[in-house]
Amino acid sequence: MKEIVIISGKGGTGKTSVTGSFAVLASNKVMADCDVDAADLHLILDPVLLEQHKFMSGHEAVINADLCDSCGLCADFCRFDAIEQLQDSYAVKHIGCEGCKVCVEVCPQSAIDFPSSHSGDCYHSTTEYGPMIHARLKAGAENSGKLVTQVRNEARQCGNEMNASWVIIDGPPGIGCPVISAITGVDLALIVTEPTLSGKHDLERVLQLSKHFSIPALIVINKWDLNIKLSAEIEALAAVYSAEIIGKLIYSPLFNLAQIAGLPVVKYAPNSQEAIELTAIWQKIESITGGGE
């Protein structure tokens, strides 16, 4: 079973559109959406939910009003202004609590509990194209890297149970903890970039990251024809890092039309030039990795 992750140095480069088409083209696979802060693969794969599990991570203070004597020490010591005074006691503002536990330590009445926080949810779904593991982190919640790891572990377990050939991961953008969790130990990272100054700059950071973790990297330039000069500079940059460019996708409204229709591009317009290019990219990945055999 081969694990590949589709990532990008910045958001909006088109990696989810590429991943969605791979879901159609690959055989015997499990899909995993590891962009847990802003998951959107479900918008084009239309999953049917089978299971939902709470993701517990970190802690959040909760004041027991029956024990609180309104001394105000918790509010005085809270550096995040996360505690507000009520008529007869104090209460923690959910969105403001950073889980530092200072209020718990200073409360003379031991009136503050510190339970685990429900930070998000992980989902097991089925799609027309195969199983899908995905998740959603609550707004402002932390430990997205930990949730990414959980999604990957459950996708890998699902793949082993069905003797899958592929685990195809829609990764998060950037180079932070969620990306590190998404790429660690995969067989291949496919980086989707675009010919802009920020696209080129962020591509180099992702190439440095993949090199640091010894992850083989391939590159797809999306909208390459919008700036041919910068596309050429990206090709030169790829050569420096020995990363092969295996495809160039033209700028096309077809990608937006497919998203509006809630379908992968190769499903929405299977005979289009865009679908032919995406199919060629996937076939190169199969050839390079020896996957699907």
* Residue of higher predicted confidence among 288 and 140: 288
> What is the domain-level CATH number for residue 65?
3.30.70.20
> What is the domain-level CATH number for residue 171?
3.40.50.300
Helix ranges, 107-222 (H): 144-161, 177-183, 197-212
**Secondary structure element (H or E) that encloses residue 48, with its range:** strand 48-59
Q: How far is CA 95 from the centre of its chain?
A: 22
Burial of 194 (0-12, 13-18, 19+ CB in 10 A): buried
Q: In the chain, how many domains are there?
A: 2
d(CA 213, CA 209): 6
The mean per-residue pLDDT over the stretch 210-230 comes to: 96
Q: What is the mean pLDDT of the chain?
A: 94
Residues 231, 88: one domain? no
The mean per-residue pLDDT over the stretch 78-105 comes to: 92
Give the C-alpha distances (Å, rounded to integers) separating 126 from 122, 154, 211, 263. 14, 14, 34, 15
Residues 109, 221: one domain? no
Confidence tier at 292 by pLDDT (50, 70, 90):
low
d(CA 143, CA 240): 34
d(CA 42, CA 259): 11
Residues 32, 71: one domain? no
d(CA 237, CA 274): 25
Residues 41, 163: one domain? yes
pLDDT beyond 90 at 247: yes
- Quick one: DSSP state of residue 226? G
| Exposure b/e, 199-232, CB count within 10 A at least 16 = b | bbebbbebbebbeeeebbbbbbbbbbeebeebbe
Residues 96, 52: one domain? no
pLDDT beyond 90 at 268: yes
pLDDT beyond 60 at 119: yes
Residues 27, 88: one domain? no
Residues 164, 223: one domain? yes
Residues 133, 83: one domain? no
Residues 13, 142: one domain? yes
pLDDT in tens, 144-180: 899 999 999 999 999 999 999 999 999 999 999 999 9
Tell me, what's the pLDDT at 293? 52
Residues 219, 251: one domain? yes
Residues 72, 174: one domain? no
The pTM of the full predicted model, rounded to 2 decimals, is: 0.90
Tell me, what's the pLDDT at 272? 96
d(CA 234, CA 71): 61
Percent of the chain with pLDDT over 70: 99
The mean per-residue pLDDT over the stretch 91-113 comes to: 93
pLDDT in tens, 32-79: 999 999 999 999 999 999 999 999 988 999 999 999 999 999 999 999
Structure tokens of 280?
A: 């060629």
Tell me, what's the pLDDT at 10? 87
Tell me, what's the pLDDT at 152? 97
Task: Determine the structural domain holding residue 47 and report its residue range.
Answer: 2-56+120-289
Tell me, what's the pLDDT at 105? 96
Residues 43, 75: one domain? no
Q: CB–CB of 16/205 below 8 Å?
A: no
Q: How far is CA 123 from the centre of its chain?
A: 14
Tell me, what's the pLDDT at 11? 87
Q: Pick the last residue of a domain from 96, 114, 132.
A: 114
